Amino acid sequence: MSITTESNTASRENYYSSKRSIIDLQLLVAVLIATVTFAAAFTIPGGYNNDGPSQGMATLVGSAAFQAFVGSNTTAFGFSIVALI
């Protein structure tokens, strides 16, 4: 049998309040990351080709740096969505 004191109850409430605020902050960061990565998928580095047979394709599509960007962007978006769920 245990006796709960006022200071013990207040300490527990403080702990849960602090924990909840940390979770809220992490959710906010996940939403911001998801938003930025979603926008980056439309405003790709290098822009788009305006003419020729590859019209509408990314100009840097063959570049290794561009492939790394797409992979990193996709991974960041996926992890932030998983964190939100």
Secondary element (H or E) of residue 26: helix 6-42
Residue 69 domain-assigned (yes or no): yes
In the predicted structure, residue 7 carries a pLDDT above the cut 60: yes
In the predicted structure, residue 15 carries a pLDDT above the cut 70: yes
Q: What's the pLDDT score for residue 39? A: 92
Q: Confidence band (pLDDT; 50, 70, 90) for 2?
A: low
Per residue in 26-84, pLDDT (tens digit) is 999 999 999 999 998 888 888 888 888 888 888 888 889 999 999 999 999 999 999 88
- Long-range contacts made by residues 29-32, C-beta under 8 angstroms, separation at least 24? 30/80, 30/83, 30/84, 31/80, 31/84
Residue 31 domain-assigned (yes or no): yes
Are 71 and 35 contacting, i.e. CB atoms less than 8 angstroms apart?
A: no
In the predicted structure, residue 6 carries a pLDDT above the cut 70: no
> How many folded domains does the chain comprise?
1
Residue 1 domain-assigned (yes or no): no
Q: Side chain identity at 51, as an amino acid letter?
A: D
Q: What's the pLDDT score for residue 55? A: 84
Expressed as residue numbers, the domain containing 42 is: 6-84
